[in-house]
Chains A and B, each alone.
Chain A
Amino acid sequence: MPATRHVTVKDGDVLVLVGTMKGAFLFRSNGARKTWDVAGPYFPGHAVYAMAYDGRAGRRRLWASATSMHWGGDLRSSDDFGKTWTTPAQANVKFPPEAGLSLTNIWQIRVGPNEQPNVLWCGVEPASLFESRDAGETWELVRGLHDHPHRPRWEPGGGGLCLHTILPDPVDRHRMVVAISTGGVYRTEDGGHTWNACNRGVRADFLPEKHPEFGQCVHKIVQHPRRPHTMFLQNHWGLYRSDDGGDSWHDIAGSVPSDFGFAMVIHPHDPDVVYIVPLESDGFRATPEGKLRVYRTRDGGGSWEPLTNGLPQKQAYETVLRDGMAADALDPAGVYFGTRSGKLFASSDGGASWRLLADGLPPIVCVKAAVIGDPKKVRVPKPAARKKPASRKKVAIRKMAAPRKKAATRKKAATRRRR
């Protein structure tokens, strides 16, 4: 097995957690996010589809799902930033015998709100939700969703039948939205006892009926804690917005080159700013025209702009998967994404410019970002003041002045010659 490198992490640092098909890596920097230390690989040979950072109640805990193709998977945690990890004596996330199911993979780890510091959830394949109320010591199947009458008709997508998105309401602890590929969006308002399909307006191009009650292949949903009833959804064909907590969705694809894609991230401070990476068709599933472009909306989906500064724009047929993009909580926000070809890109200015942090990693399936300690206390250097471009008027004046000066010089020279 390869030697594992470690990083020393302190309060105020930024960590990017990278899960790959063959292990996990950590990228550490300070508030400037200019230079990065790399640690890993952790769990070499294991697929790490889900990672999370739990900084609640004084913890400094990393979580990772480590799944061996041979021996199954479980959740591991580290309280020393990866130097040591728990190895559960018994699988800590497993279906009860009467469920008749076996865990295939853990796709999502979601830390609960600060007011519930011991609550975590994880979404798994086959699609189910597990909950822990003791900070991850024990996990229990959420029966209300597991026993849903729709379950027998959920179908696996290309990645498997997975529950990959968990959005607890930041205000109402009884309310939560989850997403399943392919099953669609489901919402509970009674703490997980009952769930309703919330897919009105979301299309399912791969089914004879294009707008069924459920069965959509939702790839990712994001919401902002300040405006939880507004959500954005990247579908298997389709970009959507809901302003009523998921009761209805409307199309916001607008000018993007393709409304197919997987990853979607919301800005940490602005609920109208969302990032996506469009992919060309569900057949090719790579960036259109060989150009790696992140698209950003700054008006809640009204319009989209390509972000390309620092990203390859030739022969870049990349794929960014549903959990392959994340943002940190600093200001300006850092945005990060990883590709199936093992490249990790980072922006420390909200997407205005990008740089390659790593190349040659195993296929990246998960990227998460965390600020250690209070993000408000982190010193973030101000971006270098850009040279103000000269106004058109000034440029015009200069252009006009130059010939005049030359003419004057020529006149003087002619006078000198005459003398």
Chain B
Amino acid sequence: MAVRVLLPAYLRPFAGGRAEIEIPAHPPTVGAALETLRVEHPGVVDRVLTESGGVRRHVNLFVGETSIRWTGGLETKLDDFCEISIIQAVSGG
């Protein structure tokens, strides 16, 4: 019933060096998963969400292989044993 969150290299120092974190209590949505994650790893979530609560513009979140942009954003429902990937967007210059 756990949800796994996969972290990019940039965020791992804020999670004790871990590349993935398991959230045991099954959160119903991506937003709920991040709020659960915030309790133990606030530095990770500070860098994924803005103070206003939105996902940063150049950060992409995927549930499985689908971007949450197309599935309801932070309200995207989570299935059992799913994975949330936090990935840096290709933007830059």
Q: Which residues of A come within 8 Å of B, CB atoms?
A: 68-72, 87-91, 94-97, 99-103
Determine if B50 is an interface residue (Cβ-Cβ < 8 Å): yes
The 8 Å CB contact of B54, one of A87, A88, A102, is A102
| Residue in B51, B54, B56, B92 whose CB lies within 8 Å of A71 | B56
Complex Cα distance A88/B44, Å?
Answer: 11
* B51 pairs with A70, CB closer than 8 A: no
Return B48 CB to nearest CB of chain A, in Å: 8
| A to B contact number (C-beta, < 8 Å) | 51
Find chain A residues with CB under 8 A from B30 CB.
none
On whether the beta carbons of B14 and A89 are closer than 8 Å, the reply is: yes
A70's partner among B10, B43, B52, B54 (CB-CB below 8 A) is B10
Contacts of B46 in A (CB 8 A): 72, 90-91, 94
A71-B88, A90-B42 known; 18 new pairs, CB 8 Å cut-off, are A69-B91, A70-B56, A70-B59, A71-B10, A71-B11, A71-B47, A71-B59, A72-B56, A89-B14, A91-B46, A96-B51, A97-B52, A99-B51, A100-B52, A102-B50, A102-B51, A102-B52, A103-B50
In the complex, B89 has a CB within 8 A of chain A: yes
Q: What is the 8 Å Cβ interface bit string for chain B, positions 51-71, against chain A (1 contact, 0 not)?
A: 111101011000000000000
Q: Which residues of A contact B48 (CB under 8 A)?
A: 71
- Give the most central of A71, A87, A103: most B CB within 10 Å: A71
Contacts of B17 in A (CB 8 A): none
Smallest CB–CB gap between A362 and chain B, Å? 10
B72 at the interface (CB under 8 A from A): no
B13 at the interface (CB under 8 A from A): yes
Give Cα distance in the complex from A102 to B48, angstroms: 12
Would you list which residues of chain B between 7 and 50 have a CB under 8 Å from chain A? 10-11, 13-14, 42-43, 46-48, 50
| Complex partner residue of B47 from A91, A95, A96, A99, CB under 8 angstroms | A91
**5 A-B pairs with the lowest CB-CB distances in the bound complex, closest first:** A102-B50, A71-B47, A89-B43, A70-B58, A91-B46
| B: contact size bracket | 20 to 34
Known contacts A70-B10, A87-B13; A103/B59 CB under 8 A: no
A69 to B92, Cβ gap below 8 A? yes
Name the A residues within 8 Å of B50 (CB-CB): 72, 102-103
Nearest CB to that of A94 among chain B residues?
B51
Tell me the smallest distance from the CB of B43 to a CB of chain A, in Å.
4
Q: Is the CB of A70 within 8 A of B88?
A: yes
B54 to chain A, nearest CB (A): 7
Chain A residues, Cβ within 8 Å of B54: 102
The reply to whether A89 and B51 form a contact with Cβ atoms under 8 Å apart is: no
Q: Considering the chains assembled together, what is the distance between the CA atoms of A73 and B39 in angstroms? A: 21
Q: Is the Cβ of B47 less than 8 Å from the Cβ of A72?
A: yes
Q: Say how far B25's CB is from chain A's closest CB, in angstroms.
A: 22
Name the distance in Å between A341's Cβ and chain B's nearest Cβ: 15
Q: How far is the CA of A101 from the CA of B50 in the complex (A)?
A: 8
B88 / chain A contacts, CB cutoff of 8 Å? 70-71
A94, B56: Cα distance in complex, Å: 14
User: Which chain B residues lie closer than 8 Å to A96 at the CB level?
Assistant: 51
Q: What are 29 sample pairs from A and B whose C-beta atoms fall under 8 A apart? A: A68-B10, A68-B47, A69-B91, A70-B56, A70-B58, A70-B59, A70-B88, A70-B89, A70-B91, A71-B11, A71-B48, A71-B59, A72-B46, A72-B50, A87-B13, A88-B43, A89-B14, A89-B42, A89-B43, A90-B42, A90-B43, A90-B46, A94-B51, A96-B51, A97-B51, A97-B53, A101-B51, A101-B52, A102-B54
| Chain A residues whose C-beta falls within 8 Å of the C-beta of B58 in the assembled complex | 69-70
Cβ of A86 to closest chain B Cβ, rounded Å: 12
Report the bound CA distance from A101 to B43 in whole Å.
19
Q: CB-nearest residue of chain B relative to A95? A: B51
Residues of A within 8 A of B91 (CB): 69-70
How far is the CB of B47 from the nearest CB of chain A, in Å?
4
